[in-house]
Structure 1
């Protein structure tokens, strides 16, 4: 009976390299899921939450380092986040400043969207500035909307929301919306930009808020949270 061939040394090296690579990828994945920017560089950090995050314990969020919270509130003409009321009640008892976010729809007239926002978001001077999330494009509208109309209607919407809240809004600007409409150079408002793990520069001017980790795992919920930092 012939001798069993030894496993060739070169394949042992390949197997070892593959194992090390798998370990490195797993470590990088874990780091990415738990990474937040340095507190020395960005001392003020917070979170964006909505119905997708389920029930959130805002007191625990504050305990692990959140300094503020934004909650998704309204969308378009009649959209309302399913957890808005519950989140507002919870935040009233938590030591966190908070504000509301409206998802803007360029297909719907500004007045109807503003009516939705002012109906469900309380007029409270203690709240943080309102945030207008800009991502949907007018190209997807059933009725064509010109680029000029997008800017005009958005300006009208901002005026009405700011009249209600008494504060200038912040634009939560996606890269695709900015690429299409160049709103950052046309409407002078503070910006909230999104780009995981790397500081964004797609707006052409400094940001005020940055979604630094869009899927941060914490002990607060069973879902990853969107972690946000503020410029110092």
Structure 2
């Protein structure tokens, strides 16, 4: 009897291990873009959809993206204190010409002062009536993937960056974060008034307060010719009327 029980227990453990392996495999394949959920391109509960792009998407046909239901685009502008995305200007003007509302994002650096990062962004991104607020993208790179920067040191860079951007553009910047960067750097009360763009590609956001949700890294749309074949998808949390009132005022 004991031997039968042990066999059954072993089979249950093997089945559980196989199920866990299958779930991990499916999650990996979805992340790599080989599996898309049926509602991934247009979740029915949201009204306003967008993408985010950089030079990695290459030349973008903004009219094609508009025809596929894209309402807004976060466009990479700068990184750190010196890097400028070489396709920013053409993407900024192209999105507007196609009727896609633009917003520019800055990839935050832990290695240079916030003031010089802000200046890099301001030199690149014009104050454009009707555009979305500037975005500060806080994630990890290089050695910070394994050893994240100290929270106090990060705050000392981030706070002046946000202050200068808000003064120049007249609106509070959007903070982009993963769950990890949010918990490490943004969960305090001092950042609760900033709009939040959260990256959560596998499940709906687990945070109560967010304004934009990056829900997929794995989509493939028509209309771009870069080395990156995938494109990120986003939704705005709110109605189209609320979206139209969000950001820099129109002229």
Same fold (TM over 0.5): yes
Pairing 1:113–2:117 present? yes
Q: CA deviation at 1:55?
A: 1.0
Counterpart among 197, 200, 205 of residue 195 in structure 1? 200
Map residues 170-189 of structure 1 onto 2, 5 A cutoff.
170-183=174-187, 185-188=189-192, 189=194
Gaps of 5+ in 1: 1-20
- Structure 2 contact 136–175 (Cα < 8 Å) conserved: yes
The separation in 2 between residues aligned to 1:215 and 1:84, in whole angstroms, is 22
Q: CA deviation at 1:213?
A: 1.2
Q: CA deviation at 1:34?
A: 7.7
What is the SS of the residue equivalent to 1:181? Answer: helix
- Structure 1 contact 36–212 (Cα < 8 Å) conserved: no
The separation in 1 between residues aligned to 2:99 and 2:154, in whole angstroms, is 38
Quote the residue 1:215 is aligned against.
Answer: 218
What is the SS of the residue equivalent to 1:55? Answer: coil
- What TM-score, normalized by structure 1, do the two folds share? 0.78
Q: Which has the higher contact order (CA 8 A, sep 6+)?
A: 2
Q: CA deviation at 1:33?
A: 8.9
Larger Cα Rg: Structure 1 or Structure 2? 1
What is the SS of the residue equivalent to 1:107? Answer: coil
Q: CA RMSD in A?
A: 2.9
Map residues 125-136 of structure 1 onto 2, 5 A cutoff.
125-136=129-140
Alignment CA distance shift 1:171-1:151 (3 Å): same
- Structure 1 contact 178–184 (Cα < 8 Å) conserved: no
Q: CA deviation at 1:97?
A: 1.0
Alignment CA distance shift 1:93-1:163 (3 Å): same
Alignment CA distance shift 1:216-1:34 (3 Å): farther
What is the SS of the residue equivalent to 2:159? Answer: helix
The separation in 2 between residues aligned to 1:48 and 1:230, in whole angstroms, is 13
Alignment CA distance shift 1:152-1:163 (3 Å): same
Pairing 1:206–2:209 present? yes
Alignment CA distance shift 1:179-1:127 (3 Å): same
Alignment CA distance shift 1:205-1:137 (3 Å): farther
The separation in 1 between residues aligned to 2:71 and 2:114, in whole angstroms, is 32
Q: CA deviation at 1:185?
A: 4.1
Alignment CA distance shift 1:54-1:183 (3 Å): same
What is the SS of the residue equivalent to 1:162? Answer: helix
Map residues 35-50 of structure 1 onto 2, 5 A cutoff.
35-39=40-44, 41-50=45-54
Q: CA deviation at 1:180?
A: 2.4
Q: Any idea what the Cα deviations from partners look like across 1:183-226, whole Å, max 9, x if unmatched?
A: 4544121111111142122xx43211011111211122351111
Aligned length: 204
Map residues 25-36 of structure 1 onto 2, 5 A cutoff.
29-32=34-37, 35-36=40-41
Quote the residue 1:93 is aligned against.
Answer: 97
